[in-house]
Amino acid sequence: MKHLTEKQRKTLLRILASGVLLGILMILRATVLPDRWYLQLPLFLIPYGIVGWDVLYKAARNIRRGQVFDETFLMAIATIGAFCIAEYPEAVFVMLFYQLGELFQSVAVGKSRRSIASLMDIRPEEARCLRDGEWEVIAPDDVEIGERILVRPGEKIPLDGVVESGESELNLSSLTGESLPKPIGVGKDVYSGSVNLDGVLEIRVTKRYEDSTVAKILELVENSALSKSRAQNAVEKFAKWYTPSVVIGAFLLFLIPSIITKDPLTWLYSALIFLVVSCPCALVISVPLSYFGGLGCASKHGILIKGANYLEALSNVDIVVFDKTGTLTEGKFRVSAIHPASDVTPQRLLQIAAALEQNSNHPVAKSILEEAGEISKPTVEGLKEVPGRGISGEISGRLVLAGNRRLMEEHGIKVAVPSELGSVVYLAEGNSFLGSIVISDQVKESAVFALSDLKKLGVRKSVMLTGDSAAVADRVAKVIGIDEVRADLLPTDKVKQVEGLLALKEGTLLFAGDGVNDAPVLARADVGVAMGAVGSDAAIEAADVVLMDDDPEKIPSAIRISRFTRSIVRQNIAFALGVKFLFLALSAFHLTNLWMATFADVGVAVIAILNAMRTLGYKEK
């Protein structure tokens, strides 16, 4: 009772009151009540009116609006017809059980909506903002870019920003589905909707609330239910033609046999059963509820799907196309190998490289500095960048060089080429070769498992598109298990490649990219999946499916959720139509009654709804 709305409580009380009165009247009818229609009719109209007045009102209102053929119309005709042939208890019971089913459906839908709301309970309610030297509690919408906010332990971060002071760990599970806390400190980006676990953080706001991560996610989730799947559209079209067809069928079932047999009461009863059974509510409610639950389940796993149509498309993935950098690889350059000359130590090689690169913002330079750490660096004078080749300077009056092979050749220095693939930085001092440092992007470990899962799920082909060299791309593909590689591509080339693959597909073509540089390809694919989209406006805008972290294993997870949802939808459609057509046939041969027909309608709807709600609780095996 505590989770029922006020309207639901009132409906339940009406059902209970009507049920008690119906029970009393049936006992009286079997014992002392005279078998006179003018005595029984007014008595049975009391419980009927208590439980069914609103159904009759809705049916009349819809008729005035031109919306004749709906379930309230069918229930009104069936129960009024039952009164006309003196089946008073059955008329009340049909309406009673119908209202009980409607109440159950309302509670079930409310529960599923609450479940999804709890999954996406990331909307911040307030922000503690520094104004005039004091911390003021204000609405997140009122905080401007550049202002400072304070977030205490246990509080949600209300706006996107950069940590100005403090250290903590953040729970990003509501955004990414990942429960492992993420360490955070000064200079790190933080996203609204994440929860501060232990330390106090001062954050400089970088986006207004309406542009923040949490606002975009909430907007995406709220709009996802608007895009309908083909199954939903088919059910709606089916119901539009199905309901008037069965009304006509019920009328013919009454009229033609009545003329032939001269027994109108018997065939009117059969026609009423026909009408009760024909209500399409099991399909109309359970199919969208299944997709609604599937979308909510995906959100729980950090997978935001922009509509039921994309959820449905995921169930039929045939070709998966990946971008390489940031999707299958970390997208972060790291030192993978150090090869000093015979008379040079690895530490000295790193010292010289770090000294030369310490003022550079190039990703290669950053990876060298990260590898060097706090190692002491010699003083470099006369630092000079050599465009397209590298950098030069002087250490203790001697020329030092760090760059590519071309730079070494220009100074007449022979180099030893390393066997590893990646970006190579060669170093020299005077005319002597000091060694080389190999920088490479690291393959994501989860990418290997993702490709294995996709093959198990029946994906026919996997393709990697990259602007990198063929040698590097082939190495990555071999490690991960990609079927086909297309390298040395410009962004426009990727679109052409996807268009070519679209002509070869047998189902859905899915493209997964980082969402920043791949927007044209994401839009061109049947289903575009943006990886690691927390904080990425371009990803959220361009993609059909948004993975809130950069884990490729979320792609097979999304496909499994989609297929589970599809199986539930198919089960409900087959079950509902199978039972209905069976009872429709039985009614034509007088092998059922209104009591059984009511179960065939409302009971089937309840079972279908319970089955649909399983999508909310789906868990990976």
Domain interval for residue 65: 1-119
Residue 412 lies in a domain: yes
Number of domain units in the chain: 4
Phi, psi of 279 (to 5 degrees): -55, 125
Residue 341 lies in a domain: yes
pLDDT, residue 57, reads 92
Beta strand pairing call for 195-196 and 168-171:
antiparallel
Residue 575 lies in a domain: no
- Token output for 288: 């969208």
Q: What is the DSSP letter of 553?
A: T
Are 47 and 147 contained in the same domain?
no
User: At which of 411, 442, 473 does a domain end?
Assistant: 442
Residue 226 lies in a domain: no
Are 368 and 414 contained in the same domain?
yes
- Token output for 241: 């033609």
pLDDT, residue 560, reads 96
- Residue 271, Cβ neighbours under 10 Å: how many? 25
For residues 544 and 365, give the distance between their C-alpha atoms in angstroms, rounded to a whole number: 36
Does the annotation count 483 as an active-site position? no
User: At which of 68, 103, 119 does a domain end?
Assistant: 119
Q: What is the CATH classification number for the domain harbouring 354?
A: 3.40.1110.10
Are 482 and 542 contained in the same domain?
yes
pLDDT, residue 621, reads 62
Are 324 and 342 contained in the same domain?
no
Q: Closest Cα to residue 158, out of 135, 173, 142?
A: 142
For residues 399 and 394, give the distance between their C-alpha atoms in angstroms, rounded to a whole number: 5
For residues 602 and 49, give the distance between their C-alpha atoms in angstroms, rounded to a whole number: 20
Neighbour-count burial of 258, counting CB atoms closer than 10 A to its CB (0-12 exposed, 13-18 middle, 19+ buried): middle
pLDDT, residue 225, reads 53
Residue 503 lies in a domain: yes
Are 93 and 25 contained in the same domain?
yes
Q: What is the CATH classification number for the domain harbouring 191?
A: 2.70.150.10
For residues 295 and 309, give the distance between their C-alpha atoms in angstroms, rounded to a whole number: 11
Are 436 and 536 contained in the same domain?
no
Are 343 and 390 contained in the same domain?
yes
Are 106 and 179 contained in the same domain?
no
Active-site residue (options: 70, 160, 323, 441): 323
pLDDT, residue 16, reads 93
Are 340 and 379 contained in the same domain?
yes
The DSSP secondary structure of 466-534, one letter per residue, reads -SS-HHHHHHHHHHHT-SEEE-S--HHHHHHHHHHHHTT-SSEEEEEE-SSS-HHHHHHSSEEEESS-T
Q: What is the CATH classification number for the domain harbouring 487?
A: 3.40.50.1000
For residues 618 and 565, give the distance between their C-alpha atoms in angstroms, rounded to a whole number: 9
pLDDT, residue 473, reads 85
Are 151 and 71 contained in the same domain?
no
pLDDT, residue 120, reads 52
Are 10 and 115 contained in the same domain?
yes
Residue 614 lies in a domain: no
Below-70 pLDDT ranges, the chain: 1-3, 68-69, 108-123, 173-180, 217-229, 231-232, 234-236, 238-239, 491, 515-517, 533-540, 621
Residue 478 lies in a domain: yes
Are 497 and 522 contained in the same domain?
yes
The string of pLDDT tens digits covering residues 455-481 is 999 999 999 998 777 878 888 899 899
Residue 609 lies in a domain: no
C-alpha distances in Å from residue 161, one per residue of 60, 138, 168, 269, 323:
56, 17, 15, 69, 28
